[in-house]
Structure 1
């Protein structure tokens, strides 16, 4: 596969691919929590384009309202308009709309952190999050991406795939140890998926964040495919894994089942 200097597929691979659109999105993706504002030289280096091209892309995105340019420093940053795409996605997504009342109910009744995550290949992405007053880790926000293999919602989703499909996804993922408790051997993971499939929910005990205890159950569409997961996360300072599983396993399972039953037919 041929790519440009930034690793972006070129038109040689796909005659319908518009490279300028690809690069415009690469410019937007250059901004993150570590790079809140960037100058032209930094954008040029990050995207792999020359400074003249960086100037044209940033000028266009600024005129469209997706980038803000500081008149003094000449540095760019994402504008509030960039949030609108996320808002459109959230309003249009049937899983989020169907799950929201159940997430709110779980949040109010448990007073713990409740999340909705959606699958994206070998990852999960947080689509809704109700924080607990007990939660100390506030780094996770809507849009945060995590690997599926070492998170309870990811395992819940994987457990509802066929064993062959789940193994294929795991085989293509970088299975690294994030903590001393991370299970990252495929055979061990497959055994955990089998258990989750049998009991209706999955668990992860401090495998991505130390001290985090998480219990999750998958949301299933009308075709039987996993389309999301509801999880409750608590701290091991307040719960043992056994107690967290005993209390929250039935709750997330019931909530996910209710959401699944109300899912509209696939378009």
Structure 2
């Protein structure tokens, strides 16, 4: 296995598996391959040559060439004429922009997030669940924010984030555990809760108290407290969280100071 292969994102975390795709008669595989090419790029691989595109996507060189060329002609990739390396263009932001502008969920949440941000003067985030990850879809930054490089569209593993545990806590336990079983459980820091039984206990605790916390589980020095936002069926539609620096608050202070605020905000946004 090459270094590039070792860092390849797991396909099971990004939608349907290969077997599920093969069993779906309506699945357009060329669309799947195009998005696999676009998803190959990121902070880890900001630019890729053709053989690397093929390696990361699992395609042969011929397929990688056709899809990379098509996406370049459509304006979603740029090819350096000298190095022959591809990179994403700003046009790829359009889909995300349309989602943010058209999301009723985000529109409904924004006034409450803004109020919580002004009330606490801390960083406030809105996240949604996508299989084994959470995705940041709105963010109000604090002047005390940590340099964690989190922006709208960033992902974090569900099991080591406050919002992730908060959302899992409002799913049926077998469904929550099935998500955890699909995660690549590993410690990102010495404080990460990553063993299955400990995570199950954390989900149950969050269900009982109405909020979840995570302290230095993904980023050192970072504390998070989160509560689930529920849809009309009582299922998690997203989560709101407050992120703070642990140089300013102890874990006990985070819970005592912000738990009632985060629960009230999540309840106000919920549709139950």
TM-score, normalised on structure 2? 0.86
Aligned residue for 1:38, secondary structure, equals coil
Moved more, 218-227 or 43-52: 43-52
**2:6 corresponding residue in structure 1:** none
Residues 1:9 and 2:22 are matched in the alignment: no
Gaps of 5+ in 1: 1-5
Shift of 1:153: 0.7
Moved more, 107-116 or 215-224: 107-116
1:64 to 58, 74, 78: 74
Aligned residue for 1:203, secondary structure, equals strand
Aligned residue for 2:265, secondary structure, equals helix
**1:159 corresponding residue in structure 2:** 169
CA distance in 2, matches of 1:148, 1:59: 35
1:95 to 100, 105, 111: 105
CA distance in 2, matches of 1:244, 1:229: 17
What is the RMSD of the two structures over their aligned residues, measured on CA atoms?
2.2
1:114 to 113, 119, 124: 124
**1:237 corresponding residue in structure 2:** 247
CA distance in 2, matches of 1:49, 1:159: 38
Shift of 1:12: 4.7
**1:226 corresponding residue in structure 2:** 236
Aligned residue for 1:77, secondary structure, equals strand
CA distance in 1, matches of 2:177, 2:49: 43
Gaps of 5+ in 2: 1-9, 12-16
Q: What per-residue deviation string (whole Å, max 9, x for no partner) do you get for residues 110-167 of structure 1?
A: 2211111101123211111222222232321112221222211111111111223222
Query: Residues 1-267 of structure 1 correspond to what in structure 2 (within 5 A)?
Result: 9=18, 12-261=22-271
Aligned residue for 1:140, secondary structure, equals coil
CA distance in 2, matches of 1:20, 1:69: 21
**2:4 corresponding residue in structure 1:** none
Shift of 1:215: 0.5
Shift of 1:180: 1.7
Asked if 1 retains the 8 angstrom alpha-carbon contact of 2:160 and 2:214, the reply is yes
